[in-house]
A and B are shown apart, each in its own frame.
Chain A
């Protein structure tokens, strides 16, 4: 085995260590209504407070508009409306979770953000086969950590599940 090869292998494992170990099994937990929801931490870019939103016409009701985040234009989705829940009221605890999926940034408006928690795979169960948002595949699994169950979301499905307006990603 050559030295060059050894070196690059070593580098690879080093890289994986950083990438995987810190993010593996970790979820950002937020609340809407009385439920706890979790999304994989690897998708989360940033969490910011509520901003002034510029409305955009001809959008589904859960797309609230766009904001400017450090020169980037980011569309916002109200998760409560996306899930057909009672729409949340925006106040000083309302947060925008900026997520990145397929190199596209989208802001999720959620009621509160509580913590980042580790839920190992063996504590996650498959999604039960009931309910409306589950039917669309929004739920990736149910996480059972100490106190309360957490609904783990499939962020890609939430952003791109077929809607009445044509999201470009679907065709790419």
Chain B
């Protein structure tokens, strides 16, 4: 960080610093030496700063956007680590290494704040550092209250840090409250001794302020989540991935040079070269895609905190296990599923897992089990949220569905799948009362919609009394799809292969008119038909259904036929967004580049279905 700053100001007379760094860097493996070195660097910088400020009252150290961005990024990843460590400590008790790490991170953060001139942040993080220090020395007991208070301080520092990008200063909202809170935490030990003798009431007061403040934590947290979400055009990529890509590009260059230098290749060699080229391009494609992939680790970590807070709030004992944190998904997908995942976890704790008494009455362990598990399954990633709570109540759902006119019959003939899927309908809730935990204003329908945005779907398994599993199934990447090329008149469209059930040329006798709409009879099923050329105002080759091709598309168990002129074949393609300038086009989700460099519109099956029904 500091070096980056210095590098920005080449004029900075830091040759002296450099020579010291050089001298000392051989010893840096020793912790002591490292600290000495860092102190020295600070000293030199401070001296230089004073030197620069001499005779210039309103001197401002030049700080540019890049430095701030770097500062924020570094800080946030540090905070995540601290939070993780604190939560672990709360669970397993005192652990020197974890506290050491938290201490180190906050120490370097404090230094950076000082350097960037964020006074309040510096002060607060300095106090937090002190807090960690006394924790490290075992002078502060690891209690729920102490951890909660510490997390709160951390939250506010994190929130302020994220705000810096806009506010450009490190001013902490309600600084004094937090300052007091951290002091309370740090000095409570000493005070306790005094209070025992002098004033036992004050102690209670202190703890009360702490508890009161904790209540507000969830709000701060929410804000932080939103901030983080809105600031993520950056991505952290493992250097190995980049190296791999650079290597491949190097290989490609070699092959291309070989080809240009030997223009008269024999057909045998030519084939060899093309073969090589093909392989390289495929590898490069994979490498480029893998750069967009990030592990689910960060998302899962958020859940740890969420479960902790929720179980405190709902007074239910919940043990969370996470598996498969290293499963990777496209970055945009990971961002999209974070909210749905949180919602499902909330749901599981609020509606799924029973209270301690209820559990004991059913001779279940008093601690509810919640597991989040991610794994690769074919071309998809499955994220399962498993609880051992009460499970979904089929009868209750059906009753509610009938109230809402979602089902006509008494529903005994409906499959479990169909019944469980009803809970994703807008406005559906079987909860008797809305608790603060679930009252976030997001229904399960939003969860479903968000998952569908990333082309995924949700499966529910549930056994009464045994628990439920919500399984999010998400395609590995939304950037590439298998598509079927179809032609209508002069236009070529791409249809996602997954949505296609079958494509056939029908006979005239299969067509009937129902209410003036064409319907095709296929194996005793009546299927509505929809002509693409009518929606997009094209001139097709064929007007008669029996002359062209009918593609049967499936969307959420509903089938409809799409009438096109001709099938052109399957291919794998990269999805490109349509220009922002054009806005949303009905029935189109994006476009893809054909092998001749031209573009083809990708059809949005969900959109088409809505247009037809």
Contacts and interface: CB of A to CB of B under 8 A. Distances in A.
Interface in B407-428: none
B581 A169 contact: yes
Contacts of A106: 579, 581
Contacts of A105: 579
B247 interface: no
Interface in A134-172: 159, 165-169
Given A57-B536, A58-B586, A66-B578, A73 B591 contact: yes
Contact of A165 (B12, B56, B536, B583): B583
Contacts of A57: 535-538, 585-588
Interface in A43-78: 52, 54-59, 63, 66-68, 71, 73-75
Contacts, number: 88
A4 B12 contact: yes
Contacts of B491: 54-55
Contacts of A67: 598-599
Contacts of B56: 1-2
Given A4-B62, A66-B591, A54 B581 contact: no
B580 A168 contact: yes
A120 to B, nearest CB: 32
Given A4-B12, A55-B491, A167 B583 contact: yes
A121 interface: no
B128 to A, nearest CB: 31
B583 A73 contact: no
A166 B584 CA distance: 9
**Which bucket holds chain B's interface residue count?**
35 or more
Contact of B582 (A4, A6, A59, A71): A59
B581 A104 contact: yes
B598 A68 contact: yes
Contacts of A71: 576, 593
A3 interface: yes
A15 interface: no
B9 interface: yes
A7 interface: yes
B600 A168 contact: no
Contacts of A130: none
Interface residues of A, number: 32
B65 interface: no
B317 interface: no
A5 interface: yes
Nearest to B13: A3
Contact of A75 (B9, B52, B538, B582): B582
Nearest to B10: A7
B597 interface: yes
A132 interface: no
Contact of A104 (B536, B576, B580): B580
Interface string A85-119: 00000000000000000001110000000000000
A8 interface: yes
A54 B601 contact: yes
A74 B577 CA distance: 10
B59 interface: yes
Contacts of B9: 4, 7-8
Interface of A: 1-8, 52, 54-59, 63, 66-68, 71, 73-75, 104-106, 159, 165-169
Given A57-B535, A67-B598, A75-B579, 13 more contacts: A4-B62, A57-B585, A57-B588, A58-B536, A59-B582, A67-B599, A68-B597, A73-B578, A104-B580, A106-B579, A159-B581, A169-B580, A169-B581
Give me the 9 closest cross-chain CB pairs, A-B, nearest first.
A57-B536, A54-B599, A7-B11, A75-B579, A2-B52, A168-B583, A73-B576, A68-B599, A75-B581
Interface of B: 9-12, 52-53, 56, 59, 61-62, 490-491, 535-538, 576-583, 585-588, 591, 593, 597-601
6 contacts: A2-B52, A63-B582, A66-B591, A67-B598, A73-B591, A104-B580
